[in-house]
Structure 1
Amino acid sequence: MTLTWTTKPFAELTLAELYALLQLRSEVFVVEQTCAFQDIDGQDQGAWHLLGYTPEGELAAYARLFGPGICYPEASIGRVVVSPRFRRYGLGRELLRQAIAAVEALDGAQPIQIGAQSYLQAFYEDFGFRQVGEGYLEDNIPHIHMVRSASQA
């Protein structure tokens, strides 16, 4: 499945785009993962939003991107999510490739830090991310910090 990708700052999101991305994040991070947490955390306004749309115009994949010094000293990628309806197409890998490319297009090649759910460690390692520090619980879900060096590009 081929998606159409767009990257926008918060101020340029349409109401329909904002609704769709918040709905997708809620569907996966709150409902599917049975995790009551404050998804709308006040950071969306400072982020770039990567949206992947199906040919029919449905939001299938999303990630939130930050420049260095906002969430971590490094640039960062978060809220990485593929709609359950589209998971069988390998879109998670394409989403991460697009997210890394978008961060580099916005801020140049540089280290990228993520806070990853621990069970996805091997997935992120395939893209050059390496665990830094100890694991931690975030909203009762095991996480690890991972960094991808600029030389991985």
Structure 2
Amino acid sequence: MNPRRKKRMGLLLALFFGISATVGLVLYALNQNMDLFYTPTELVYGKPDGSKPEVGQRLRIGGMVVEGSVKRDPESLKVSFKLADVGPQVTIEFEGILPDLFREGQGIVAQGILTTATSIEAFEVLAKHDEDYMPPEIAEAMEKVHEPMGYSEEQLKGSDN
């Protein structure tokens, strides 16, 4: 192989490895910032495909705030409340200022980290903006929950964690 071809081959290999490294780092960064969406039923029993989040995983969860479940710490901005769809309840703990539209019976989406099987430490809480609006993810997930998903009636009605 002559020196000119060696030089071209070296440049092509360097370019290939540079592009491969860039694509790999971009995919790694995107994977680190991906939050999966769950409903309380999916969080407790898993999604229909069998996937279930692990403790310590970042996620988003959506549902309705359970009436009478909001508890505020008088000494700080800590708030805990229960979130439900049609099945089990999940506890959300949040420290900060809640949205103005947050209230019991309201649909919300919380982003946070799963601390136990049925408890989430939220770092962001979003409330819907009017009576008719429901985030598309929650509406779609609740429609799916109303379809037969393999959960028994006892699981959906009797499990209040």
Both structures adopt the same fold (TM-score exceeding 0.5): no
Calculate the TM-score normalised by the size of structure 1. Answer: 0.24
**Higher relative contact order, structure no. (Cα contacts within 8 Å, ≥ 6 residues apart):** 2
Calculate the TM-score normalised by the size of structure 2. Answer: 0.24
Between Structure 1 and Structure 2, which shows a larger proportion of helix residues?
A: 1
